[in-house]
Structure 1
Amino acid sequence: MIDVTGMDSFNEEIKEGVSLVYVYAPWCGPCKLISPALVNLSEQCPDVKFLKVNSETGADILTMLNVSTIPTVLTFKDGERFSEDVGFQPSNVFEDKLKNAITVSG
């Protein structure tokens, strides 16, 4: 997973293809449950960019994305928001969203 801390690098990373953006905090219990599943999913989906944004250091990104709850997992396709999941979700939810984003023509 790519650790993104600034707006410029965030926008550059999501502009092409499918990206999954994981917004977390190091102290967040549900985040700790989701994180290993997302790492595993990143190994299964090499064509998808997996980004993580620490809510404590990426406040400008959270503001731009209008994210106020963690964990939040967003899917982008070619720079456009495709889906958003707030709170703990089973890993198959993220897998299904990625499959949908990959198969939808853009």
Structure 2
Amino acid sequence: MGTVTITAENFAETAGGEGITLLDFWATWCPPCRQFGPIFERVSEKHPDITFGKIDTDAEQLLAGEFNIRSIPTVMAVRDGVVVFQQAGALPERALESLIEQVRGLDMTEVKANAEEHSNK
């Protein structure tokens, strides 16, 4: 499937539903982003059941601000509309594959219950 461009207009539709969405917050002027881009693209081809989205932080400053992106690249994993992982820094391909397996293995009933508990505090 490859990667898709994520904007403020399509973010909720893309990452808000069921399934897994991996996001790469990046910018054209960022050398580590340019190094990570091909890895993200290559892994996206291996997992057609996952949405891989790229968010250009220069073009989508509101989205970057909403998620408090302070360093790029930043990888974010969203499952069933819940952010379950966010980390700044380019990941090696093996680490990205490991992240995917961990996100697949999450008990989302438990994750959502924990998220609700923390939001009520």
1:91 CA drift (Å)? 1.6
CA RMSD of aligned residues (A): 1.0
Q: Are residue 21 (structure 1) and residue 23 (structure 2) matched? A: yes
Task: Kindly provide the amino acid, as one letter, of the partner of residue 11 in structure 1.
Answer: A
Aligned to 1:54: 56
Separation in 1 of the partners of 2:55 and 2:42? 18
Aligned to 2:37: 35
Higher RCO structure, 1 or 2 (CA under 8 Å, sep 6+): 1
Please state whether the residue corresponding to 2:48 is helix, strand or coil. Answer: coil
Q: Number of residues paired by the alignment?
A: 105
Aligned to 1:91: 93
Gaps of at least 5 residues in structure 2 are 109-121
1:102 to 95, 101, 104: 104
User: Quick check: 17-26 or 85-94, which moved more?
Assistant: 85-94
Say which one has the larger Rg.
2
Question: What do residues 52-106 of structure 1 show as CA deviations (whole Å, max 9, x unaligned)?
Answer: 0001011111111111111001011011111112112212111111111112231
Aligned to 2:47: 45
Question: What do residues 17-70 of structure 1 show as CA deviations (whole Å, max 9, x unaligned)?
Answer: 100000000111000110101111001011100000001011111111111111
Compute the TM-score of the two structures, normalised by the length of structure 1: 0.93
User: Quick check: 74-83 or 87-96, which moved more?
Assistant: 87-96
Gaps of at least 5 residues in structure 1 are none
Task: Kindly provide the amino acid, as one letter, of the partner of residue 12 in structure 1.
Answer: E
Q: Which runs of 4+ in 1 moved over 2 A?
A: none
